[in-house]
Amino acid sequence: MMKMYGRMAMAMFLLLAACGGSVRERSAYRGGAAGGNLDYSVSAAGNYELGMKKLGDEDWLDAIRFFNFVKARFPYSKYAVLADLRLADAAFGAQSYLEAIDQYRLFMKFHPTHDLVENGYASFRIGEAYFHLLPDDWFLLPPSYEKDMTSTVEAARELESFIKKFPRSEFIPKAKDLFQKVSHLLAAHEWYVAKFYYDRDLPMGTVLRLRTLLKKFPDVGFDEDALWLLGQAYVRVSRPDDARKTYETLVEKFPKSGHADAARREIERLGKVAAKPG
């Protein structure tokens, strides 16, 4: 719900900002309340710093106005380039994440050698923005793992790409934390669908989903249960060798788990079946 309000607010911000303004104008929105007059500086640097202060104060509209003023009045200044990036930051802060993503992408496209591109900042913010678009868990709605996973997949893709491309970035610890959370949600979705197929006697669908889960999202909390259910699904599709290997993996990785003893019995039973003549 908050994300929807954020997008609506940002749309209003961008509409107002596009109208431009004089050097001294009335601010139409200031943190939800009417504010005072907005004064511009006579220099690019001065207006940029005023915009940065507004960002720090979470006054997104006034920040946008300052940055747009820099771009309009000082288009060949280095601050005009920085203003492009800070417009994305303002959209991000206002929870208008799709607009922020578009703005960060444009900045990366037109300024590929800028320090804030080469150090991974813009790339990380795209992944972080997608993370904020993940479906919410709200008590009146289905769990997030039952909802559309488009933003979740995009978040995983962008964060994984950032981690691989900028391994020494200062943003790596946070990126890895976000990626772990995104991976858990995607794994939960695969687990949910796998059980859905299994409960409806569609074990091949279960096999495919669980193999994807174990390959793409290992070590996020589902491996033990996934291996157990995968073994059962392999039995149902008449692939006893694959079932036995799956149970063996379960016992090897989780020797003291709740499924380990049952897996050992299944290994023994499948071995006896395989030993029967004919």
pLDDT tens string 218-262:
999 999 999 999 999 999 999 999 999 999 999 999 999 999 999
Q: Is residue 167 part of a domain?
A: no
Q: Is residue 100 part of a domain?
A: no
Q: Is residue 128 part of a domain?
A: no
Q: Is the pLDDT of residue 94 over 70?
A: yes
Q: Is residue 164 part of a domain?
A: no
Q: Is residue 74 part of a domain?
A: yes
d(CA 101, CA 195): 35
> Which range marks the domain in which residue 16 is found?
1-95
pLDDT digits (tens, 9 = 90+) for 42-71: 999 999 999 999 999 999 999 999 999 999
Q: Is the pLDDT of residue 5 over 70?
A: no
Q: Is residue 79 part of a domain?
A: yes
d(CA 196, CA 158): 29
pTM for the model: 0.77
pLDDT computed for residue 239 by the predictor: 96
Total domain count, the chain? 1
d(CA 193, CA 145): 9
Half-sphere exposure of 115 (CA within 13 A, CB side): 2
Q: Is residue 154 part of a domain?
A: no
| Amino acid sitting at position 97 | Y
> 153 in helix, strand or coil?
helix
* H helices present in 149-171, as ranges: 150-165
CA 76 to chain centre: 34
Q: Is residue 55 part of a domain?
A: yes
Question: Dihedral, CA atoms, 46, 51, 53, 59, nearest 10 degrees?
Answer: 150
